[in-house]
Amino acid sequence: MRIRTERDSCIASGACVLEAPQVFDQDEDGVVVLLAESPAPEVAESARNAMMACPAAVITIDEDA
Amino acid sequence: MADPRHILVVGGSAAGLSTAEALRRFGFDGALTVLEAEAGGPYDRPPLSKQVLDGSWAPERAALFPADRLARIGLRHLTGVRAVSLDRRRRVVGTDVAGDIGYDELVIATGVAPRRLPGDRLPGVHVLRTMADALRLREDLLRGGRLLVVGAGFVGLEVAASARRLGVPVTVVDPDPRPLAGRLGPAVAGRLLRLHAEHGVQLRPGAGVRRITSSAGRADGLDLGDGTHLAGSAVLVAVGCRPMVDWLAGSGLDVTDGVRCDARCQAAPGVWAVGDVARWHHDGFGRPMRIEHRQHATEQAQAVARNILGAGVAFTPTPYFWTDHFDVRVQVAGFVPAGATLRPVEGNIADGRFVALAEHGGRVAGVVAWNSAKAFTAHRRLVPAFAAASAPSRPGYGDEERT
Ligand SMILES: Cc1cc2nc3c(=O)[nH]c(=O)nc-3n(C[C@H](O)[C@H](O)[C@H](O)COP(=O)(O)OP(=O)(O)OC[C@H]3O[C@@H](n4cnc5c(N)ncnc54)[C@H](O)[C@@H]3O)c2cc1C
Ligand code: SF4
């Protein structure tokens, strides 16, 4: 799994952090910070939840990478 | 139904496409069709009043999903096709150009459309819901002249801010003497209106519109209830929205102010609703609600997808929205009723950034943040789910109803 974030589109909702705190954080302005580009298997599911929860389609997951 | 073969989603925007994606994610491998009235690729609406209108984004950047993510869902995506009828007995949706389409499970995700004012179908008068609306409004703003905004809700004020960014003079009128007080609380609403005034927006709270005036077939101003006339070269009507349920007339569903659903977002056997159009029973608040916020569309989509696949869980979200004005982002989770007491937990209401808890009836009803997105996330967890007994039954991004 490889995660990408389109930070310019982030509206700083924090939804990803609530879903997957091990994978995502926010900078001081609230913009998403990717903590783990290829997260550990045990948090992969939470990363998928974050992708689906994001209200601005900022997060993309490439499952095959 | 335990094992549907064909799921049909009507409405291919945030709520509809998120439902489709979630269905696949939760294991549905049958046929999946999404019907969307607009031709062209799906786009997101929040940027329309912000980056698309002020020109900081090209329209393509407002795409709802990256193309590869959309392609991976694996769906029959019928765009430019409008649902016109529903026959629940036969489980068939009639369309304008694609004939009848049968289904095992139907998801209604047709959203809302702007309310109109009498006599507002005139060149120079705008509403804002679609990309085409945004580009038309932008074109008019770039021609210069004053913009008159009817309705000081979130959409109306975001447009006012974008217009100021373009150097366009703006007047906003609203019959409510205290616009947004019921959504942000009087203190934060007042602060937001002052921000607009500081940026040159002329505000006329408490002023109702009697009619839109015109000359040579084009809107040229507003007659207000108090007898004043405002001159302008474009008018935006931003007075809230109504659910897109016309096509469900005769279906036997209750479509009074949205598609009435139970706590699991089901309207009838084999029929579900999601997003702005859905009025479902929120078990936490103990009554029906309809929410017009972007995050809500995504969250309810997950719940509907799970329930179609048999989870049978009540959907009890704590609503969340954001809104952007000039260099300020306001975020709210839960509710900030007009009578709430604001207790700052970071900064102060008068500061450049703050987070405050809204306390109402001895409980935390919501949290509101002003340019403090990171701190907001931390405090958001403090809002107990559905804490606000005083929650409005129709919190929406554009539901500030005016006439
Ligand atoms: C200008 C603007 C700015 C906004 N900004 C924010 C914001 O900053 N923060 C926030 O939280 N929310 C915001 N919102 C609200 C947010 O965009 C909505 O909550 C969200 O779009 C709801 O998604 P939906 O899929 O339920 O409905 P919609 O986005 O309305 O999608 C419904 C879809 O159904 C299609 N459709 C309708 N009828 C038919 C039919 N008969 N047959 C086939 N297809 C049909 C429509 O073409 C449409 O594509 C904003 C909305 C607007 C308009
Ligand atoms: S969920 Fe999306 S919009 Fe919200 S902070 Fe995370 S990346 Fe940004």
Q: Is A20 a pocket residue for ligand 2 (Cβ < 6 Å)?
A: no
Interface contact flag, A15 B65, Cβ < 8 Å = no
Looking at residue B4, its pLDDT comes to 83
Partners of B215 in beta bridges: B218
Average pLDDT over residues B134-154: 97
Query: Model confidence over B81-90: pLDDT tens digits?
Result: 999 999 999 9
Q: Cα(A32) to centroid of ligand 2, in Å? A: 6
Residues in chain B with CB shorter than 8 Å from the CB of A3 are: none
Looking at residue B88, its pLDDT comes to 98
**Equal CATH topology for B6-113+242-308 and B116-239:** yes
Q: What tokens were used for B171?
A: 């007047």
Q: Does residue B311 carry a pLDDT above 60?
A: yes
Q: Does residue B175 carry a pLDDT above 80?
A: yes
Q: How confident is the model at residue B396 (pLDDT cuts 50, 70, 90)?
A: low
Q: How confident is the model at residue B95 (pLDDT cuts 50, 70, 90)?
A: very high
Specify the CATH class of B6-113+242-308 in words. alpha beta
* Nearest CB to B373 within list A26, A53, A56: A26
Query: Model confidence over B44-71: pLDDT tens digits?
Result: 999 999 999 999 999 999 999 888 899 9
Q: Does residue B295 carry a pLDDT above 90?
A: yes
Q: Does residue B389 carry a pLDDT above 50?
A: no
CB B336 within 8 A of CB B183: yes
Specify the higher pLDDT residue, B387 or B276.
B276
Q: What is the pTM of this model?
A: 0.96
Looking at residue B187, its pLDDT comes to 94
Q: Is B10 a pocket residue for ligand 1 (Cβ < 6 Å)?
A: yes
CATH architecture of B116-239: 3-Layer(bba) Sandwich (3.50)
Q: How confident is the model at residue B1 (pLDDT cuts 50, 70, 90)?
A: very low
CB B37 within 8 A of CB B80: yes
Q: Is A56 a pocket residue for ligand 2 (Cβ < 6 Å)?
A: yes
Domains and CATH numbers, chain A: 2-62 (3.30.70.20)
* Nearest CB to A30 within list B44, B61, B373: B373
Q: What tokens were used for B11?
A: 């409405």
Q: How confident is the model at residue B400 (pLDDT cuts 50, 70, 90)?
A: very low
Q: How confident is the model at residue B2 (pLDDT cuts 50, 70, 90)?
A: low
Q: What percent of chain B has pLDDT over 70?
A: 95
CB B139 within 8 A of CB B152: no
Looking at residue B330, its pLDDT comes to 98
Q: Is B83 a pocket residue for ligand 1 (Cβ < 6 Å)?
A: yes
A to B CB pairs, distance under 8 Å: 70
CA-proximal residue: ligand 2, atom 4 (nearest): A13
* Nearest CB to B21 within list A31, A52, A55: A52
How far does A36 lie from chain B, in Å, by closest CA?
19
Q: Which atom of ligand 2 is nearest to the CA of A56?
A: 3
Residues in chain B with CB shorter than 8 Å from the CB of A12 are: 322, 329, 331, 373-374
Specify the higher pLDDT residue, B351 or B80.
B80
The residue type at B104: D
Interface contact flag, B377 A26, Cβ < 8 Å = yes
Q: Does residue B398 carry a pLDDT above 80?
A: no
Q: Does residue B390 carry a pLDDT above 60?
A: no
Q: Does residue A1 carry a pLDDT above 80?
A: yes
Residues in chain B with CB shorter than 8 Å from the CB of A19 are: none
Query: Model confidence over B198-252: pLDDT tens digits?
Result: 999 999 999 999 999 999 999 999 999 999 999 999 999 999 999 999 999 999 9
Q: What percent of chain B has pLDDT over 90?
A: 88
Domain residue extents for chain B: 6-113+242-308, 116-239, 327-380
Looking at residue B393, its pLDDT comes to 57
Q: What rounded mean pLDDT belongs to chain B?
A: 93
Looking at residue B337, its pLDDT comes to 85
Q: Does residue B397 carry a pLDDT above 90?
A: no
Q: Is A44 a pocket residue for ligand 2 (Cβ < 6 Å)?
A: no
Q: Does residue B304 carry a pLDDT above 50?
A: yes
Three-state SS sequence of chain B: CCCCCEEEEECCCHHHHHHHHHHHHCCCCCEEEEEECCCCCCECCHHHHCHHHHCCCCHHHHECCCHHHHHHHCCEEEECCCEEEEECCCCEEEECCCCEEECCEEEECCCEEECCCCCCCCCCEECCCCHHHHHHHHHHHHCCCCEEEECCCHHHHHHHHHHHHCCCCEEEEECCCCCCHHHHHHHHHHHHHHHHHHCCCEEEECCCEEEEEEECCEEEEEEECCCCEEECCEEEECCCEEECCHHHCCCCCCCCCCEEECCCCEEECCEEECHHHEEEEECCCCEEECCECHHHHHHHHHHHHHHHCCCCCCCCCCCEEEEEECCEEEEEEECCCCCCEEEEEEECCCCCCEEEEEEECCEEEEEEEECCHHHHHHHHCCCCCCCCCCCCCCCECCCCCCC
Interface contact flag, B322 A11, Cβ < 8 Å = yes
Query: Model confidence over B257-288: pLDDT tens digits?
Result: 999 999 999 999 999 999 999 999 999 888 99
Ligand 1 test: best mutation among B110, B184, B251, B299, most atoms within 8 Å of CB? B110
Q: Which residue of A has its CA nearest to B294?
A: A55
- Interface of chain B toward chain A, CB-CB under 8 angstroms: 14, 18, 21-22, 25, 44, 46, 61, 63-66, 68-69, 294-295, 297-299, 302, 320, 322, 324, 329, 331, 372-374, 376-377, 380-381
Average pLDDT over residues B110-135: 96
Looking at residue B387, its pLDDT comes to 47
